[in-house]
Amino acid sequence: MGHATEAPVMILKSCIGNRALGWDLLPPGSEGFEFTDSKGVTWVHPGYQDSPEKWEKGTEPKAINWYAGMQYDGDIARAKAVLAELDTYYPGATKYEIAGFFWWQGDRDSRSEALSSRYEHNLLQLIKQLRKDFDAPNAKFVCASLGQTERGATDGGGKILEAMLAVDGTSGKYPEFKGNVAAVYTHRLSKGGSSGAHYNGNAETYMNVGEAMGRAMVGLMKIGR
């Protein structure tokens, strides 16, 4: 991003493992849903700020010390705290613009049949809510798939990939995302390993994916051309 624009660039990064978009990172406005597993058991999955992570339909849910969206709330609050003291973190800065969001996530959701099936729905809500929470309706959004997942996969990772490709503005499925949402297919960029194994700690994988996401963002912002 810094090479594509003369404007100063600051990236606020939130990075913590074992978090699901369908649970820990569930954005405000998300409703609960029911899902029947392969054994025929129907589970209720919580909406935003509900708890626990799931419960069998017909039983009384027992809240735990965590709720749907708790990580999302914390991440947003911490980002806003930094922006409220911008000069502390970017000396000399007096104002800012939220130009875009990067999203490389999905491992935890891919391990759940219910959450991977719900991923597209939740991703739509995430894009809309991030723009709302930061008062940035025109901010671009770039997401990236799990590196181990190939096109055509039918497992949880495949569902995550299909969800991301669906929201890409070039797919035509969501016309409102044309020119402002992009998905990066990362399998060809990965040097091995899986998201759960942190791609075997290979820094080249992370560099490849980061650069590809950056180029996708530059393309959406139509800068450096």
Question: The CATH number of the domain where 73 resides is what?
Answer: 3.40.50
Judge whether 1 lies within some domain. no
Judge whether 18 lies within some domain. no
Judge whether 8 lies within some domain. no
Q: Which domain holds residue 69?
A: 33-221
Q: Tell me the C-alpha distance between 213 and 183, whole Å.
A: 8
In order, the DSSP letters of 136-153 are: -TT-EEEEE--TTPPTT-
pTM: 0.96
For the chain, how many structural domains are there in total? Answer: 1
Q: Tell me the C-alpha distance between 218 and 106, whole Å.
A: 23
Judge whether 61 lies within some domain. yes
Judge whether 60 lies within some domain. yes
Q: How far is CA 188 from CA 20, 145, 148, 192, in A?
A: 24, 11, 9, 10
Judge whether 81 lies within some domain. yes
Judge whether 131 lies within some domain. yes
CA 158 to chain CA centroid, Å, is 16
Q: What is the pLDDT along the chain (225 residues), one digit of tens a residue?
A: 888 988 999 999 998 999 999 999 999 999 999 999 999 999 999 999 999 999 999 999 999 999 999 999 999 999 999 999 999 999 999 999 999 999 999 999 999 999 999 999 999 999 999 999 999 999 999 999 999 999 999 999 999 999 999 999 999 999 999 999 999 999 999 999 999 999 999 999 999 999 999 999 999 998 544
pLDDT at 140: 98
